[in-house]
Amino acid sequence: MTRLDLHLHTFYSDGDRSPAEVVELAHRAQVMAMAITDHDSTAGVVEAVTVGQQVGIKVIPGVEVSARYQGKETHILGYGIDPMYFPFQERLRWLRESRVRRVRDIVERLRHLGLSIQYEDIQTVAGAGAIGRPHIAQVLLDRGYVHTIHEAFEAYL
């Protein structure tokens, strides 16, 4: 049976490993083809493709693009993208900047509700990855404002 995984994240998104580490783990798991699909970023694609060629795994360049449909946030997976195509990179940059603005707005709203939380707290949790609501939820959990991530989303996000 051929193994493949077409939805993998690196530390450029909400994963915690480098692109090379993700490819190496896939190789050890006998995956034959994979796609790096970080949120609004193709920063890890070239490294993953290069390591994939070295270990014999087909790495499909991909991205998970944030979108809104009928007022709800959704994600669209794109495959076979050119990570160097400038107009697409500009759009991804705009999406990443939108994420930052959204997180700042949410933090400000939470502060008005009396919660002691700073944007920098969220940045620390997000690390180099794409910042987002899951990182806010983690800070709310860590600070004891909620008991679960689900509760953070239900009550505040």
Tens digit of each residue's pLDDT (9 = 90 or more) over 80-124: 999 999 999 999 999 989 989 999 999 999 999 999 999 999 999
Residue 68 has a CB neighbour count (10 Å cut-off) of: 8
Residue 149, both tokens: 């991530």
H or E element, residue 34:
strand 31-36
| pLDDT score of 126 | 86
| pLDDT score of 3 | 92
Mean pLDDT of 116-134: 89
DSSP class of 5: E
- CA-to-CA distance for 119 and 53, rounded, in angstroms? 39
Domain spanning 1-84: which CATH class is it, in words? alpha beta
Whether 14 has a pLDDT exceeding 90, the answer reads no
| pLDDT score of 13 | 86
Chain-centroid distance of CA 120 in Å reads 18
DSSP class of 16: S
Pick the CATH number of 85-157 from 1.10.150.650, 3.40.50.1470, 3.40.190.10, 3.30.930.10: 1.10.150.650
Residue 136 has a CB neighbour count (10 Å cut-off) of: 25
Q: Where in the chain is the domain with CATH 3.20.20.140?
A: 1-84
- The band of 2, judged by pLDDT with boundaries at 50, 70 and 90, is confident
Whether 129 has a pLDDT exceeding 90, the answer reads no
Mean pLDDT of 127-149: 91
Whether 17 has a pLDDT exceeding 80, the answer reads yes
Q: Where in the chain is the domain with CATH 1.10.150.650?
A: 85-157
| pLDDT score of 73 | 85
Chain-centroid distance of CA 37 in Å reads 8
**Could you tell me the pTM of the whole model?**
0.80
The pLDDT tens digits for 38-75 are: 999 999 999 999 999 999 999 999 999 988 899 888 99
